Structure 1
Amino acid sequence: MDQLRRRLTEHARVVAEARTHEFVDHALAARLHAKIDAVLDRWDSLDAGKRALVAETIDYLVDTDDEEHDLRSPIGFVDDAERVDDMLRAVAPDLLTWPG
C-alpha cells in the first residue's frame, strides 16, 4: 500500500507541475486522489480481489497518456474518473459521492 501512496504522490506532483496547461482539470484530479486515499485508508479490510482492483485503478490514473491524455485533453481526467467510479462501486460505494 505504501508504494501505491507514493505513486499517487508522484502523480499529484506531475499534475501540479502542469498548472500552466490550460486543459488540466486540477479540481477533478484532486477529488480522484481524495477518493483513492480514502479507499487506501481501508486497505486492511479489503480482500485480495478488491486490493487488486484498487491497484489497477491507481495504475490507470497515474498513467497520464491513457485513453485521453490527462495533461493535453480538455476531458483528460474523465476516463480516469470513470475508472475510479467503477472501482468505488465494487470496493467502497459510500465514497462515490464523497467529496462532492
Structure 2
Amino acid sequence: MKSLVYAVIAASVIAAPIASFAQSSQQPVTRAEVRADLVKVEQAGYNPNRDNITYPADIQAAEARVNAQQGTAVASVADTSGYGGSNGGAVQSGIAKPMNVDGVHPLYFGR
C-alpha cells in the first residue's frame, strides 16, 4: 500500500509541470490584431508592396518607430544576447584571374 501511495505522489509530482505548461497564458494572435499591427507599421513608413531587398531592415525600423511612439522600446536580440556583434557580411564579385598569364596550357603541359 505504501508503494502505491509513493507511486501516486511521484506521478503527480512529475505530471504537475506538464499540466502547468499545457495551460500557457499565451493566446494566438487574432486576424484583427495582425491587421491593426500592419496598419500601425504602415503609418510608421513601411510599405509592404514595395519590392526591395532590405525587407528585414525596413520592417524592423518601422516597428522600432511604432514602439518609440507607444513608449515600449524593445531591445533587439543582438543587444540582449551578450554574444558578440552582428556580422555585416561581404560580397566580392569580378572575374577570376588565371594562374598563369602566358596562355592556356593542356592538362599535362611540361610533363
The structure carrying a bigger helix percent of its residues is 1
Q: TM-score, normalised to structure 2's length?
A: 0.29
Larger Rg: 2
Q: TM-score, normalised by structure 1?
A: 0.31
Q: Which has the higher contact order (CA 8 A, sep 6+)?
A: 1
